[in-house]
Amino acid sequence: MSTAMRVRQYINLYLSIVMILNSSSLSLQLNYSSALSTSSSCRLREHFSLNGMYQKGDVILGGLFEVHYFTVFPELSFTSEPKQLYCEGFTSCGFQQAQTMAFAVDEINRNPDLLPNIKLGYQLYDNCLKLGVALRAAMSLASGTEEEFLLYETCSGSPPVLGIVGDPGSTHSIAISSVLGLFRVPMVSHYSTCSCLSNRGKYPSFFRTIPSDAFQVRAMIQILRRLGWTWVGLVFSDDDYGVHAARSFHSSLAESGGCVAYSQVLPKDNRPTELQRIVGEIKSSSARVVVVFSNEAYLLPLVDEVVVQNVKGLQWIASEAWSTSSVFHTPRLMPYLGGTLGIAIRRGEIPGLRDFLLSIRPDDQPDNNLGNNMVRQFWEAVFGCRMEPPAGWVENGGDVCTGQEDLRDVETNYGDVSELRPEYSAYKAVYALAHALHDLLQCVPGRGPFSGHSCASLERLEPWQLVHYLERVKFTTGLGDRVSFDDNGDALAIYDIMNWVWLQDGSVQVENVGVMDESAPAGQELTLDEDRIFWNFESKKPPRSVCSDSCPPGTRVARKKGEPVCCFDCISCAEGEVSNTTDSAKCSRCPEDFWSSPERDLCIPKRVEFLSYQEALGISLMTASLLGALICAVVLGIFTHYRNTPVVKANNSELSFLLLLSLKLCFLCSLLFIGRPRLWTCQLRHAAFGISFVLCVSCILVKTMVVLAVFRSSKPGGNSSLKWFGAGQQRGTVLVLTSFQAAICTAWLVSASPTPHKNTRYHNDKIVYECVVGSVAGFGALLGYIGLLAFLSFLLAFLARNLPDNFNEAKFITFSMLNFCAVWISFVPAYISSPGKYADAVEIFAILASSFGILVALFGPKCYIILLRPERNTKKALMGRASTKT
């Protein structure tokens, strides 16, 4: 059974289902079912006729175009036979596309290199923008003429077409492809953009020379991102084209970080209340950008309502279905639609097309009863005349068409070939079918792609065989545009970005301001010349269309509950956190040694804090330390100079010199606490401090013990006490006591040495450099040992405080040790509670205070006598005082 016969068997069932769903096409269903059930197929034209054009050929290509906007169905009385339906609203744009296909066929027939010795013909139909009519036309093209038709001389028909160019409507293409795909009849649409048609499983024989809406949506998203528009409104037609495009736009915009402020469906019946509601929503929304997926027929009533409500200040984004439509280019609409940006399919140039368009004549069309009435309808629409005037037409002043009128004498868009977009797409569709057929006929027997390496023949050609070659077709047009199809039957995606420029004289000029090329390198797909764009605003700049202003660096986005992701608050980053990008989702924590700037937009190095030689506190302590060391040196010099005087010799001058040396070391060791802590300074500061002070206190302890021993030796039987405290024993005692401290320091440094540490606990924005003691037990042992010796010195000195005056140095030792103990007892809580560098300052202060206390208490009175009261620096004076006291 032939493909045509199989198609005819399937048509009756499928068409009945479709027509029942479309109640407005009920008469079409009844007429067509009647035609199929009639034994004489010639009754088909009697009950249903299609507007069309036909040209004979060896191979016929079909075409479906939107030549009329509306279909008028007769009233159904169910008492008489329904009248013939008819179409209204002739559009020269659709007719121009049909004529472009006719021109392409004629051009191919004149090309000796493409399909030589084969003449292409065409059968073109008008779908009247109605699904029922489009489906009926497609079935007529696919089924062709039945065999019995040829037996009647009164009937004529055309053979089945090998492929169909069209339908321009996505909804029509979906329905038609669902049927034709079952029989692999190739269909190459020039204007159906619904992304759903890329489903090869559902539409295996569908191709298109216009990019899918998926590419168009990506182009729109790129434009929105380039211009910073994240808050947009969406309006779309209630058909497959609009619904699928809107669905794809929703998901793609969300992925790019944008949001749809509102989503409105254009009513098919143009209900005024619904249009008013939609425009009211647009007017009240804060979105200044409106994206529209619709054709001009559905959109025009909405634009009229926009004018009625005077909604200005909007930036319209047009889909390819209306981006170049001249219907909107009127002085009434331009105040509202001026500056529109639109996606348009690639513009092309077709040499010779204009002359072909203007050379047609209604009397040049053959009369073969196949519907060559499309040219006559065009002629009547352009010149306002009638080829076959009805009764009373002439009497009422109507003109009769002669067929000799000249199209060059009238101003219409029909002869304008400056913006060939859908026409160029239809032109490429015809050539795609022709090249596929040419490749098929070039097959070498035995090397074919089919079973047994066979080739297809024109006499027994099956549609699926042409689909095989159509999937692999590759050619370049005269303009250099490459034409091929991907695995989904989609063409290479390339768009022009159009801008409606409202000129001062009130006219409109559609300017090309950019290109969207999917084949370009990543990130370079969109080329947009923003300086050439006309903005229909007082500022002459692009509007802002955002739900919330972008969060600047230093803040993060905080989503508002229950609102779109584009509506948010900007929250400043917390201390120590930064964000250096716009609209940052979160703030990043700064590294350990860095802190956030006041603006929270970058991490800056933390301020470093330690007791420095450059700050006032450090300078003061350093000065006091050096002053103490200098005083020790001066006192040492005085004692050296007056070493033979009674005051110096009174109590072991050697211990006094050793004591002055240890005090000098105590003053100088405090300098190790100033400056940036290093490992060696941390280790040395406490060891030097501990050993110096033990040396100092040991000398004082030995001096006190000597005072007591001398006092005891002065009593009867006390000579034995003094022999244990000779000069050697004194030096040995000091050495042994100091060695214990040295041992403690060594054990501490070996087991848990003090180390420099970067402390961030005190201040978040600064690093406090300090020395951690390492071992608290070691540090405690060091201080405890010093305290023990100081306490013993104090205790012994206190016991010897009432000795005779010549031995009354014990009073000064008592005072110095009391001062020493008070300072270091106060030191412990002050040190623990002082943060950072102030802990070092407290320790230095304790060292200096205790050292100055010893220096002043022990050496102050002696220097006073030596320098200011030399008369008292004699043995007689000292002894005299002793005798008077006794």
**Kind and range of the H or E element at 555?**
strand 555-559
**In this structure, are residues 90 and 67 in contact, taking their beta carbons and an 8 Å threshold?**
yes
Predicted local distance difference test score (pLDDT) of residue 768: 83
pLDDT at residue 711 tops 80: no
pLDDT tens by residue, 91-144:
888 999 999 999 999 999 999 999 998 999 999 999 988 888 899 899 988 886
Note if the bond before 805 is cis, omega within 30 degrees: no
> Nearest CA to 790 among 664, 648, 690, 655?
690
Half-sphere exposure of 799 (CA within 13 A, CB side): 14
Q: How far is CA 345 from CA 38, 277, 485, 498, 516, in A?
A: 45, 32, 16, 10, 10
> Of 249-253, 710-714, 792-796, 873-877, which one has max mean pLDDT?
249-253
Predicted local distance difference test score (pLDDT) of residue 83: 76
Three-class SS state of 578: strand
Which string of b and e fits 423-442 if b means at least 16 CB within 10 Å?
bbbbbbbbbbbbbbbbbbbe
More confident residue, 147 or 298: 298
Three-class SS state of 264: strand
pTM to 2 decimal places? 0.62
> Nearest CA to 817 among 782, 785, 849, 793?
793
Predicted local distance difference test score (pLDDT) of residue 149: 33
pLDDT at residue 764 tops 90: no
pLDDT tens by residue, 379-428:
988 998 998 888 888 888 889 998 888 898 888 888 889 888 899 999 99
Predicted local distance difference test score (pLDDT) of residue 344: 92
More confident residue, 832 or 853: 853
**In this structure, are residues 270 and 301 in contact, taking their beta carbons and an 8 Å threshold?**
yes
Predicted local distance difference test score (pLDDT) of residue 515: 92
More confident residue, 145 or 574: 574
Residue 586 tokens, joined: 């979160």
pLDDT at residue 438 tops 70: yes
Q: Give residue for tokens 């038709």.
A: 149
Could you tell me which residues come within 8 angstroms of residue 309 by beta carbon, excluding any fewer than 6 positions away? 276, 279, 280, 283
Positive or negative, the Cα torsion across 366, 370, 371, 374? negative
Residue 238 tokens, joined: 């209630």
> Nearest CA to 603 among 577, 581, 621, 622?
577
Predicted local distance difference test score (pLDDT) of residue 766: 82
Q: Is 799 exposed, middle or buried (0-12, 13-18, 19+ CB in 10 A)?
A: middle
**In this structure, are residues 555 and 325 in contact, taking their beta carbons and an 8 Å threshold?**
no
pLDDT at residue 12 tops 60: no
Q: One-letter amino acid identity for 864?
A: Y
> Of 24-28, 140-144, 288-292, 549-553, which one has max mean pLDDT?
288-292
Q: Is 742 exposed, middle or buried (0-12, 13-18, 19+ CB in 10 A)?
A: middle
Three-class SS state of 577: strand
**In this structure, are residues 527 and 533 in contact, taking their beta carbons and an 8 Å threshold?**
no
Helices (runs of H) and strands (runs of E) counted in the chain:
25, 29
Could you tell me which residues come within 8 angstroms of residue 198 by beta carbon, excluding any fewer than 6 positions away? 212, 214, 488, 489, 490
pLDDT at residue 179 tops 90: yes
Q: Give backbone dihedrals phi and psi of 193, rounded to 5 degrees, phi first.
A: -115, 0
- Quote the CA–CA distance of 193 and 190 in Å, as a whole number: 9
pLDDT tens by residue, 841-886:
888 898 899 889 888 888 888 888 888 888 887 777 666 544 444 3
- Quote the CA–CA distance of 491 and 471 in Å, as a whole number: 11
Q: What mean pLDDT is predicted for residues 179-197?
A: 92
- Quote the CA–CA distance of 66 and 128 in Å, as a whole number: 6
Predicted local distance difference test score (pLDDT) of residue 498: 94
> Nearest CA to 827 among 788, 793, 783?
783
pLDDT at residue 719 tops 80: no
- Quote the CA–CA distance of 650 and 707 in Å, as a whole number: 10
Predicted local distance difference test score (pLDDT) of residue 710: 67
pLDDT-based confidence at residue 22 (cuts at 50, 70, 90): very low
pLDDT at residue 4 tops 60: no
pLDDT-based confidence at residue 496 (cuts at 50, 70, 90): very high
The average confidence (pLDDT) of the chain is 84
Q: At what angle do helices 3-21 and 170-180 cross, to 10 degrees?
A: 140
Could you tell me which residues come within 8 angstroms of residue 796 by beta carbon, excluding any fewer than 6 positions away? 701, 704, 705, 708, 810
pLDDT-based confidence at residue 797 (cuts at 50, 70, 90): confident
Q: Is 229 exposed, middle or buried (0-12, 13-18, 19+ CB in 10 A)?
A: buried
Cα pseudo-dihedral 287, 327, 373, 209, rounded to 10: -50
Predicted local distance difference test score (pLDDT) of residue 368: 46
Query: How big is the chain, counted in residues?
Result: 886
Q: Give backbone dihedrals phi and psi of 494, rounded to 5 degrees, phi first.
A: -150, 130
Q: Give backbone dihedrals phi and psi of 454, rounded to 5 degrees, phi first.
A: -85, 165
Strands 315-318 and 289-293, by their bridges, are: parallel
Predicted local distance difference test score (pLDDT) of residue 290: 97
Of 251-255, 317-321, 468-472, 830-834, the range with the lowest mean pLDDT is 830-834
- Quote the CA–CA distance of 205 and 464 in Å, as a whole number: 8
Strands 568-572 and 555-559, by their bridges, are: antiparallel
Residue 661 tokens, joined: 């040396």
pLDDT at residue 370 tops 60: no
> Nearest CA to 671 among 759, 594, 611, 599?
611
pLDDT at residue 300 tops 90: yes
Predicted local distance difference test score (pLDDT) of residue 865: 86
Strand partners, 526: 516
- DSSP 8-state code for residue 482: E
Q: What SS3 string covers 33-87?
A: HHHHHCCCCCHHHHHCCCCEEEECCCEEEEEEECCEEEEECCCCCCCCCCCCCEE
Residue 225 tokens, joined: 């991102």
pLDDT at residue 333 tops 80: yes
Q: What mean pLDDT is predicted for residues 458-468?
A: 89
Q: At what angle do helices 26-37 and 3-21 cross, to 10 degrees?
A: 150
- DSSP 8-state code for residue 280: H
